[in-house]
Homo-oligomer: A and B are copies of this chain.
Amino acid sequence: MAESPALPRYLEIQRDLQEKIASGEWGPGSRVPAEHELQALYQCSRMTVNKAISALAGAGLITRRRRSGSFVASPKSHETILQIHDIQAEIAASGRPYRFEILARQSRKMTDEDAKRLGLARSGEILALVLVHFAANRPFVHEERLLNLAVVPDAATESFSAAPPGTWLLGRVPWTDAEHTISAEAADAAIAARLGIPAGAPCLVMERRTWQAGATITWARLTYPGATHSLTSRFSPGGAMT
């Protein structure tokens, strides 16, 4: 059996087209039949066809131009969606016990260095933290973090005893923009000692800046021992269409 998928018409069409593109039957640059042709082919209304094609256009598989028609897009890059989970949740999900230690905490007026990291010109109060996250009592990642107290004043009096600042923020302040930078660096002596690795060992470093409506909320720098951590993502173009 398995023959009445109860699959909506527009998804059926969408998958049909997608399959033709994925298989190479319609190579990059080929013309996709016009909406009225597909409408006749599939015996449905134009809106239904439109919904299918528009979805593929949104996913970047097809580009559309008025009067000219729709064409199979030629990929110019690999694109992947990187899911960066909350550290606490990530460790908990792996079944290992989680804890963290705050090594340093300081409220201060923004230094030039702080301002640069937050991407801000003018001054203000910030909260600076240094902490280490542990998975099964072994150091997992080293975190340096700056919080812009102008945007998150509550943080000044928060103890962060229940949840680390990253988790605390995530559930409290909605962000509208984030910038991630991933790089490889040699561990400096201080961080190496805290992570229990040799100085100079390669580390995966992730820097993140987060904004809400133009205002920088926070900056974080996460240093993972390179030997134990990597980022993996699997991706299919036009993925969200089950």
Task: Write the residues of chain A forming the contact surface with B, with a CB cutoff of 8 angstroms.
Answer: 21-24, 27-28, 58, 74-86, 89, 170-171, 173-186, 200-205, 208, 212-213, 224, 226, 229-237, 240
Flag if A181 contacts B74 (CB, 8 Å).
no
Which of B79, B89, B171, B226 contacts A183, CB < 8 Å? B226
Flag if A78 contacts B84 (CB, 8 Å).
yes
A–B Cβ pairs within 8 angstroms, 18 of them: A21-B174, A22-B212, A28-B171, A58-B58, A58-B240, A77-B84, A77-B89, A78-B85, A78-B208, A178-B234, A180-B233, A180-B234, A180-B235, A181-B230, A182-B231, A183-B226, A185-B202, A186-B201
Q: What would 11 more interface pairs be, CB under 8 Å, given A75-B170, A186-B202?
A: A22-B176, A22-B212, A23-B174, A79-B81, A81-B82, A177-B234, A179-B235, A180-B232, A182-B182, A185-B226, A202-B226
